[in-house]
Structure 1
């Protein structure tokens, strides 16, 4: 499954990226307000299927933000989602199965460079 609104910021720069960040924030705000609410996890006090489904936000999304130079999920704009990420990453089985951060950053940098170069070429530059 792809989340085009959530990953568009990774595939864009400049004004397009700023627009993508605003759209991602809107989607994440809905996720925080309507799905997470005031719970520790989407399932309440324990991890459930929805937490696992959105687990990529806790690690991949953070690495995508770093690679694209755009911090979207912050404690001051999405405090409950930010806290959920911290809680999710503290679960031992999650910690044990996360990929190496440096390898993931390197992979994402290469991926982003390829995406942006294709866009640059297709726009006739």
Structure 2
């Protein structure tokens, strides 16, 4: 592990949150030892209120006592602090492109998929159409690459872990077929490459537990 000093690393997270899981995956890919603290969000811990007083949500990375919030910001911090297994290219254009797609995932693509599976209009024609349009953006972007950044997992892949893992569970619960090999073969192939990567596979929450968690709170 490439590191500048001996660190104390702590992650405040929620096991079922894809945003918290992004940080789990990045730390595991980097080989960074860390202490995990599960948060009960309805009853926020003193540490969560202390380390993220603005948004009061997870994930929060605490590095040598210094907190960093917001998952995409944390991912870049991790990549700059531990330089092995880089998540971002050294090329300025490629770095900018990865940041663009990571932000697009959070601002546009993930909300569309969540709304189709879990929103007030769950399963409506409009919601499904918007989710399909969002997936089409990724289908066009990944082309024939193994991962979004090329041959190794990078920032965009980790940011898209919700699509690679959570969507399959949520669409099954909702009775939808959003991401299938027939509709989006390139994104589907990417999802299988991603979730079967040895490190990623070990870092994802158990599928049956996630299914039970989201099924229990599914809109009826």
Pairwise TM-score range, normalised by the shorter structure: 0.7 to 0.9
Once the 2 structures are TM-superposed, how far is the Cα of residue 11 of structure 1 from its aligned partner?
2.4
Within the candidate set 47, 61, 73, 2:153 is matched to 47
Q: CA RMSD in A?
A: 2.0
What's the TM-score once normalised by structure 1's chain length?
A: 0.81
Q: Which sections of structure 2, spanning at least 5 residues, go unmatched?
A: 1-105
Q: Runs of 4+ in structure 1 displaced over 6 angstroms?
A: none
| Paired positions, count | 113
Within the candidate set 104, 127, 138, 1:20 is matched to 127
1:10 aligned residue: 117
Superposed, which structure 2 residues align to 1:40-79 within 5 Å?
A: 40-79=146-185
Once the 2 structures are TM-superposed, how far is the Cα of residue 16 of structure 1 from its aligned partner?
5.4
What's the TM-score once normalised by structure 2's chain length?
A: 0.48
C-alpha separation in 2, matches of 1:9 and 1:19? 8
* Partners of 1:36 and 1:81 within 8 A in 2: yes
SS at match of 2:124: helix
Q: Which sections of structure 1, spanning at least 5 residues, go unmatched?
A: 117-125
C-alpha separation in 1, matches of 2:121 and 2:202? 36
Aligned CA distance change for structure 1 residues 59 and 15 (closer, same or farther; 3 Å): closer
* Partners of 2:123 and 2:174 within 8 A in 1: no
C-alpha separation in 2, matches of 1:15 and 1:67? 11
* Partners of 2:115 and 2:122 within 8 A in 1: no
- Structure with bigger RCO (C-alpha 8 Å, 6+ apart): 1
Which digits, 9 at most, give the CA deviation of each residue in 1:43-91, with x for residues without a partner? Answer: 0111111101101111111110111110211111100000000110111
Higher strand share: 2
Aligned CA distance change for structure 1 residues 104 and 36 (closer, same or farther; 3 Å): same
